[in-house]
Amino acid sequence: MKAAAEILAVLAERGQTVAVAESLTGGLVAAELTAVPGASAAFRGSVTAYATALKHTVLHVDAALLAERGAVDPQVAQQMARGVRTLLGASWGIATTGVAGPEPQDGKPVGTVYVAVAGPTGTGNVAALRLNGSRAEIRRESVRSVLGLLADELRGNARAQDTEQNGGN
């Protein structure tokens, strides 16, 4: 919960917000964020799009991409993050998609996970994870990883803003 508290504090300080799109984590990322007292200052909401069709109809992930590659794909994760950011009117969007098990999905082995972040200036990042462990462990590590990815983006964004404010020196 420490990462969630730090993220929410930075966002609130900047007057920014975050929204979450989740698949394999099924609401765990939102639960981690909302466990922090005062989360409402920066947390907009979440969409748990567990069914592949919802990724298209709700989060506006490209239907051709889903048909061609399936839901477990880095571009799908990025489009989910962008989609939830737009849908919920947040500064930042984060997303999780992957295979927690017990069976492979879309030809992808258990432990294949993609987490993504979409930022306010069109910036974004996707991380590909190959996780081991039980279903619960894979889901837990996916939560930790997507929050870590957002924390890294926020740190990078702060450095860029600092550089701009200091005349690029």
Q: What is the mean pLDDT of each run of 10 residues along the chain (169 residues)?
A: 94 98 98 98 98 97 97 98 98 98 94 98 92 97 98 80 41
* Cβ(130)–Cβ(56) below 8 Å: no
pLDDT for residue 159 = 56
- What is the architecture of the domain spanning 2-164? Alpha-Beta Complex (3.90)
Burial track 53-63 (b if 16+ CB lie within 10 A, e otherwise): ebbbebbebee
pLDDT for residue 4 = 98
Q: Give the whole-angstrom CA distance, residue 95 versus residue 110.
A: 18
Please report, for the chain, the start and end positions of each structural domain, with discontinuous segments joined by +: 2-164
pLDDT for residue 11 = 98
